[in-house]
Structure 1
Amino acid sequence: MAELFQVTTDPEIEPDDVHYHDSDSAYNDSLESESYRTSITSSVLNYKYHAYREGEYALPNDEEEQDRMDLLHHTYSLILDGEIHIAPIKNAQRVLIIGTGTGIWAVHFADPIQPKWVPPNCQFEIDDFESEWPYAHHFDYIHGRELAGSIHDFPRLCKQAFAHLRPAPYTKQVVSLVQEASAKFGKSMDNLDTWPAAMKEAGYTDVVCKIVKAPSSPWAKDPKQKEIGRFFQAHQVHSVPAYTNVLLSKILGWSKTEIDILNMHVLRESKNLEVHQYGKLYLIYGRKPL
């Protein structure tokens, strides 16, 4: 079927990297060097027990221990019916594994085909996971296994992991809920893509639909997009409760407390420049023929 109207979409918005510190970038560059990725020197690891921060870990790391850990990995795989984790997460782009052991879990997560070589998207680093983490970016998933007996301060580790996790997309949840409620209310907010066809069917000619991407906070690199983001960020303080207070309470039956908590998370998320969210503005017009 041929399209009866013109649809154009803005290109992807390039995120700004100015909020990353130069020192962090230099550190990350050094971690990405070929020599760092491909070798773990004997000056750091001994054959029997850990030499890095010696005394911090009570178990050995010799060949027998590595065999035990690989066997345990297979045992966990049997317990979990072939899965390597149970977290309800899909399409994770950045993953941090603490206490990686032999690295077999990391390799299998990075490439489910389980190759014998280290996948290019898997990088090993030698560090103490109870020290301050040097990462400037956030992770979609942080995984640890067999950590009992190797942690001094578990509450601190939990807080550090929490600080380095990418926030759950509360804004996406609100959009989905508002769309659901508006549809039940009989005035859907999720049908803008059908409007050009409806205008064409009504008799309009030269129907044009231009989709403009507008960042919801000042995360974009382009100065104009950044300015737009600042205004949208300020706008959300009023728009989020305006959309949710009635639709979620009267249509979906949410309590005021539940709505207030969700709104708080959305507004907090809008201040996080690591979250590259944008809205799509549909600009649609047509001409009535003579």
Structure 2
Amino acid sequence: MSTGSDPPSPGLSPTDGDSGFISYDGDSLDPSTSSLASSVRNYRYENGRTYHAYKEGVYGMPNDEMEQERLAESHPESRVVGIDLSPIQPEYVPPNLEFFVDDAEDPWEYHQQFELIHARMMGGAFRDWPAFVTNAFANTRPGGYLELQDIDGLACDDDTFSADPPSCLLAEWWLNVCRAFDAGGRKMDAAAGHAERMRSAGFVDVKETIIKWPINNRWPRTERDKEIGMWSMVNTLDALEALTIAPFTRSLGWTQEAVQALLTGVRKDVRDEKIHAYWKIRVIHGRRPDE
């Protein structure tokens, strides 16, 4: 683990030849990602139970509600609380899991402290990160942990991609995403300051790990990085429009037509094996001191 410079990632280097993983060409989102998207998301139904479809058969246990409840019953001592601004939670959940429609930036009014508070991919969501971390500290039991996982932008270890100044439409898109969210008062690239925010709030033993997610699966060298790249590409292509339409039209004054024109080029860049970009992910955790 590191608290400063990025650790080396020798697996993230370009390779030539056929990787054996699915890769794509073309301009449109569909059908170029349809087969991969279905393999990642769909489940296999067998004998009244559902199983994973991606790498079918590797894991022999079901992934359905019955199995989730079995796992929850195996850990009855744990209680999990999830919050979201939208009422999108499933109707049936394990008995020790609760969902609340709430805003994590509002005052926290829980009747107990937590052993673990976890927030993931909340870049662009909060106006006041120090206040959130302070609230988390107050609601963490002594000896408990806060963990934050978030994107810290696009990066590259060679000269095939530059984020600023932007070297391609993908880089231009991300630069404008950050500008749009900044204009709305909710920084997209706040993750770089999380470790210091946690220390300032009172957390100790703060550790930070940098993880690299290749933007696609066409250039990484190792099988593990190729697989991460496959998932990353699907996730990025799915998220492009959601991350762009409202921020660009509301905060930057773009027309919807201009946004769609940009995204057409960005999708090409995401699939481009000559662009060795990756998402820089920061994972930070800290402990509330024992009292």
> The TM-score by the shorter chain falls in which range?
0.3 to 0.5
Higher Cα Rg, which structure: 1
TM-score (structure 2 length as normaliser): 0.46
More strand per residue: 1 or 2?
2
Higher RCO, 1 vs 2 (CA within 8 Å, ≥6 residues apart): 2
